[in-house]
Chains A and B, each alone.
Chain A
Amino acid sequence: MSASTTTELRKTPLHDLHAELGARMVPFAGYAMPVQYPGGILAEHAACRSSAALFDVSHMGQLRLVGDGAAEALETLVPMDIVGLPVGKQRYALFTNAQGGLLDDLMVTRREHDLFVVVNAACKDADTRHLVTHIGHRCTVVPLPDRALLALQGPRAVDALVRHAGGVAALTFMTGAAFSLAGADCFVTRSGYTGEDGFEISVPADQAMALARALLAEPEVSPAGLGARDTLRLEAGLCLYGHDIGETTTPVEAGLSWAIQKVRRPGGARAGGYPGAAAVERQLASAPMVRRVGLTGLERMPVREGATLFDGQGRKAGHVTSGTLAPTLGVPIAMAYVGVEHAAIGHELFAEVRGKRLPMRVTPMPFQPHRYHRG
């Protein structure tokens, strides 16, 4: 016998279901994940925009922060208002580094007895270490490897889920509560990564299969993979960590200043106090040199991550961090970082693809209007 030289990919609790559904599996953040099912990415994307799609996102990290000081402690790592977050409310947050760059983006929900946190799969081990190292003495950091995460997304997601728990209809965008679904004790938030109304469902791993089958049995619901998840979030103008944001981009450069509440800004009651606050505050006061922008292609050729952008005089203007041919819109869309002098809406830039320079125009995001249920 010889030792295996390749690292075994981890499997989510829905692995056998993916195989049964004919999914094409790919390695992603150390997991075997479905990139698409036999219907294909375009059909899955369309199903999510018009009806409802079920995504397995169990690779993502789920944690609890427990203890009276958890909210105050977490505020030392993120420039968000966590202390003022009411029970049942969810908030988008960012772990910053000493330079104001981003270690990860995450979702935080205040529950009665803890903070429920969801982080990116590729970052979850580092995030857990980060939390334990810096605030482990002020609250208890509890990873939840025994829970799966399902995302049910689309305008008819609520119709499907309400048959399993009537109460979910009362949730509004960025709120969450506990529900029993298919006999499992779940925590459900009305949120997602597609721009559509929908839910993310934290479920015990050993009950995830039964819940997924029950949801897929609903007439509105079909399975969707990571491929459609990526095109959906890009149309919705939502950042992908490691691509559109990362350790060398600040919240201000990334256009995420809206996520920094007033109370954490200069003059606010709990201003600063997070890693890189000085750098972030400098940029909040005077515009940064580069900005994340949305781009729409004027020709049909897709422009992808890594493409260099030039201005009309042929000078380098920036680079693309995500891009595809938008399935719903039928045109190339991209996110890019460009010099602020190129960031105005309507500004024309040229993306270099295989030696050709393709015209693109700076476009407001989201590319596809959000359709959240704000109640």
Chain B
Amino acid sequence: MTTMFTPDHEWINIEDHEAAIVGITLHAQDALGDVVFVDLPEVGRSYRQGEAAGVVESVKAAADVKMPVTGEIVEVNEALRADPSLVNKDPMGEGWFFKVHVSDMAEFDRLMDPPGYDALLKSL
């Protein structure tokens, strides 16, 4: 499994553990509505698992983008600053937020796998 999920509706793809990609899920962007602004973290800064590393704002609301795992930000998606609607159009692809150098793979392994996340969505 290379993509895992958090209960806060972030996803993390870990094909490259030195630059794992993080974004918000299809469900999260749908719940937020039209995204009009993103606040991205600084490259080089480290966050603990669960810490707010970014912010996504729709017309109606603002929500934190939390770190799925502890690690250092190695890249952010600059395209989102110019076109925040990428989060709506392609949340699992072009709408990614940042890349993380993962400190502890055990944290990743304890996240929700796709069937687990589907079960969470069905319970909402």
Q: How far is the CA of A101 from the CA of B106 in the complex (A)?
A: 58
Q: Which of A33-41, A67-75, A261-269 lies at the binding interface? A: A33-41
Question: Could you tell me which residues of chain B, from 39 to 71, have a CB within 8 Å of some CB in chain A?
Answer: 39, 55, 57-60, 62
Q: How far is the CA of A40 from the CA of B32 in the complex (A)?
A: 10
A49 within 8 A of B: no
Give the B interface residue count (CB, 8 A): 12
List A contacts of B58 (CB < 8 A).
Answer: 41
A301 within 8 A of B: yes
List B contacts of A227 (CB < 8 A).
Answer: 33, 59-60
List A contacts of B57 (CB < 8 A).
Answer: 301-302, 325
Contact with A302, one of B33, B34, B62, B88 (Cβ below 8 angstroms): B62
Give the A interface residue count (CB, 8 A): 15
Does A327 lie within 8 Å of B59, measured CB to CB?
yes
Does A42 lie within 8 Å of B59, measured CB to CB?
yes
Does B37 lie within 8 Å of A300, measured CB to CB?
yes
Q: How far is the CA of A57 from the CA of B63 in the complex (A)?
A: 28
Does B55 lie within 8 Å of A41, measured CB to CB?
no
Does A325 lie within 8 Å of B59, measured CB to CB?
yes
Contact with B59, one of A231, A300, A301, A354 (Cβ below 8 angstroms): A231
Closest residue of chain A to B57 (Cβ to Cβ) is A302
A35-62 toward B: CB 8 Å interface, digit per residue (1/0)? 1100011100000000000000000000
A351 to chain B, nearest CB (A): 13
A-B contact count (CB 8 A): 35
Question: Could you tell me which residues of chain A, from 341 to 375, have a CB within 8 Å of some CB in chain B?
Answer: 354
B36 within 8 A of A: yes
List B contacts of A231 (CB < 8 A).
Answer: 59
B70-97 toward A: CB 8 Å interface, digit per residue (1/0)? 0000000000000000001000000000
Question: Could you tell me which residues of chain A, from 203 to 253, have a CB within 8 Å of some CB in chain B?
Answer: 227, 231
Does B59 lie within 8 Å of A324, measured CB to CB?
yes
A147 within 8 A of B: no
Closest residue of chain B to A300 (Cβ to Cβ) is B37
A124 within 8 A of B: no
Question: Could you tell me which residues of chain A, from 3 to 60, have a CB within 8 Å of some CB in chain B?
Answer: 35-36, 40-42
A110 within 8 A of B: no
List B contacts of A302 (CB < 8 A).
Answer: 36-37, 57, 62
List B contacts of A325 (CB < 8 A).
Answer: 36-37, 57, 59
A190 within 8 A of B: no
Does A41 lie within 8 Å of B33, measured CB to CB?
yes
Does B37 lie within 8 Å of A36, measured CB to CB?
no
Q: How far is the CA of A300 from the CA of B55 in the complex (A)?
A: 13
Does A36 lie within 8 Å of B39, measured CB to CB?
no
Does A304 lie within 8 Å of B37, measured CB to CB?
no
Q: Tell whether A304 pairs with B34 under 8 Å between CB atoms, given A325-B57, A354-B55.
A: no
Contact with A42, one of B34, B39, B55, B62 (Cβ below 8 angstroms): B34
Does B60 lie within 8 Å of A35, measured CB to CB?
yes
Question: Could you tell me which residues of chain A, from 292 to 310, have a CB within 8 Å of some CB in chain B?
Answer: 300-302, 304
A359 to chain B, nearest CB (A): 16
Q: How far is the CA of A302 from the CA of B59 in the complex (A)?
A: 9
Q: Which residues of A contact B (CB under 8 A)?
A: 35-36, 40-42, 227, 231, 300-302, 304, 324-325, 327, 354
24 residue pairs from A and B, CB less than 8 Å apart:
A40-B33, A40-B34, A41-B34, A41-B58, A41-B59, A41-B60, A42-B34, A42-B36, A227-B33, A227-B59, A227-B60, A231-B59, A300-B37, A301-B37, A301-B39, A301-B57, A302-B36, A302-B37, A302-B57, A324-B59, A325-B37, A325-B57, A325-B59, A354-B55
Q: Which residues of B contact A (CB under 8 A)?
A: 33-34, 36-37, 39, 55, 57-60, 62, 88
